[in-house]
Structure 1
Amino acid sequence: MRGVIYLLLSLIFLSSCVSKKSITYFQNDKIDLSKASNSFKTVFKPDDLLEITILSENIESVKPFNLPAATFSAATNLVAGNPQQQRYLINKNGEIDFPLIGKLKLGGLTREEAIKLLNIKLNPDYVKDPTINIRIANFKVTVLGDVQKPGTYTIPSERITILEAIGLAGDLNISGQRNGILVTREEGDEKKFYRVDLLSNKIFTSPVYYLQQNDVVYIDQNKAKAQSAATNQNTGLFVSIGSILISLIAVLTR
């Protein structure tokens, strides 16, 4: 009788254990990090909100390109609050409407390419030897699923790795599936889907190691958690059946 009880308890204990190999990050696949080809770069996309600053020794020449965005009070028709840096929304055609110059197609360009294009448009007709800074004001990534703090996170620096994004979300729960993380990314007119494995060092060479604006990272539940959720409503029934079986075994073995 005692042997049967010990066997049942052992099975329950083993079923509740989590293997270290299923949760330890970067344990598989040795790689040469020096050969990683996933260098970081920002590519501008529709719906990006850009802050563009033009600097020059001639302050008067750059004023038309650094106009503040002011909000007016409907009651007084006066400026409400402090004017903020003007921002430019890239439309669905990849264009912004820039002062004096007009339509500029920045969608699909890297930051360096966009700065080069602006330099060509401005120098020397409008501004001589300008210094141009461009940043995305609404750069954000979303982390969903089996993590501590799912949500959407604004990234001021525009540079974030998938590991840093998971860190912002408080890391995976113990029940999060580490070897099948899904990253959804908009590239041009289509959505692309990538899978990454936190258990493998190959994550450092993944094309989604550096996240881009509006990327979505999804962590699914592991099989044990999913099965537990599916059978949780029958737990009471299983406990009752187990108790009855143990009682019957006790009677029969007297």
Structure 2
Amino acid sequence: MKPLFNSKRILVFLLLPLIFSCSRRNLGYFSNYGDEKLLTEDITLKPKQPQIQSGDLLQITISDANPAAAAPFNRISSNNASSNESSTSSQEGYLVDENGIIDFPILGRIKIGGQTKAEAKLSLTNLLTNYLGNPMVTIRYLNYRITVLGEVNNPSTFLVPSERINLIEALGLAGDLTIYGKRENIKIINEANGVRTIAQLDLNDKAILDSPYFYLQPNDIVYVEPVTARKDQSSLTRSNITLILGVITAASLVLINFR
């Protein structure tokens, strides 16, 4: 007797619901750029200079034509005080307190919170001219970091030594989006001056290149939302899994009986 079903037909029958439940998605970036092989545009967006916030850890180095005169203004780590390393490599960080203030050698408590690095550099330079002939101030972040979470291949918190990073670079550090990442709904979470901002960007739209949130700020969080299929997948309970296993078992029995 010829079997009513064969294994290939039953496999197709079982996969049909999955095939028809999948909708077509745009997985590309900047999809609306068009078909131009070369497109040249003026860059109108300039990265926003971050403001120094409470909790920031800064490396501040003071130099002068007379190194001995500048030395008291550089706070050196006790572990490295006796070494021959340069003051830049052995400097301790200045932690900005909740009021935006740092404790600086000789100058005392200085408020730099809410200023950009350039503004803080100018403020310190003006104060140091009372002590040094030609003071030069260098400021760097020691904890400039961003966090990428959600549907990416390598979610984590990343330090940014260059102190400049955009959304595409951040996603690159995180190993790019998974196929379940919702490209049209990338959330950028920023907290500054007591205000929390949540911006939504669409990777399919080239307009994000001109968004004020395209360049990330220190401590920004990038969250990639999962698509509905991923949410449904993660919501399966043990009873759902048991039901699926039961269907597979029943299909296997049918195959055996018709052989």
Sort the TM-score into its range (normalised by shorter chain): 0.7 to 0.9
- AA partner of residue 28 (structure 1): N
Return closer, same or farther for 1:214/1:11 CA change in 2, 3 Å cut-off.
same
Distance 1:239 1:14, change over 3 A: farther
Letter in 2 for 1:229: S
Work out whether 1:203 is the aligned partner of 2:211.
no
Cα distance in structure 1, aligned partners of 2:82 and 2:142: 22
From 105, 111, 123, the equivalent of 1:105 is 111
CA contact (8 A) 1:38 1:206 kept: no
Return the offset for 1:102: 1.0
- For 1:184, which of 171, 183, 189 is the aligned residue? 189
Partner of 1:40: 48
Equivalent position SS for 2:183: coil
Between the aligned partners of 1:180 and 1:147, the Cα distance in structure 2 is 13
Q: 1:150 — aligned with what? A: 155
TM-score between both structures, scaled by the size of structure 2: 0.79
Following superposition, the deviation at residue 165 of structure 1 comes to 1.1
* 1:131 Cα offset (Å): 1.6
Q: Any unmatched runs of 5+ in structure 2? A: 255-259
Question: Partners of 1:151 and 1:108 in 2: how far apart?
Answer: 27
Give the TM-score normalised by the residue count of structure 1: 0.81
1:170 positional shift? 0.7
> Do the aligned partners of residues 29 and 232 (structure 1) sit closer, same or farther apart at CA in structure 2, a change above 3 Å counting?
farther
Query: Can you give the 5+ residue segments of structure 1 that lack an aligned partner in the other structure?
Result: 73-77, 249-254
Change (3 A) 1:178 1:232: farther
Q: 2:36 aligned with 1:28, yes or no?
A: no
Q: Of residues 76, 85, 95 in structure 1, which corresponds to 2:101?
A: 95
Q: CA deviation at 1:110?
A: 0.7
Q: Report the Cα offset of residue 232 of structure 1.
A: 6.2
- Aligned match of 1:86: 92
User: Which residue of 1 is the match for residue 257 of structure 2?
Assistant: none
Given that 1:50 and 1:137 are in contact with CA atoms closer than 8 Å, whether structure 2 keeps it comes out as: yes
Partner of 1:252: none
C-alpha distance in structure 1 between counterparts of 2:125 and 2:40, whole Å? 39
Q: State how many pairs are aligned.
A: 240
Shift of 1:18: 6.2
RMSD between aligned residues: 3.2
In structure 2, the residue matched to 1:251 is none
For 2:195, give the aligned amino acid: E
The answer to whether 1:133 aligns with 2:138 is yes
Q: SS of 1:62's equivalent?
A: helix
Quote the Cα distance in structure 1 between the aligned partners of 2:193 and 2:41.
29
Pair 18,166 (structure 1): closer, same or farther in 2 beyond 3 Å:
farther
Amino acid at match of 2:97: N
More displaced stretch, 52-61 vs 30-39: 30-39
What's the CA shift string for 1:132-151, capped at 9, x where partnerless? 11001111111111111111
Change (3 A) 1:13 1:232: farther
Q: Cα offset for 1:244?
A: 7.1
Aligned-residue offset at 1:8:
6.1
Distance change in 2, residues 1:131/1:231 (3 Å): same
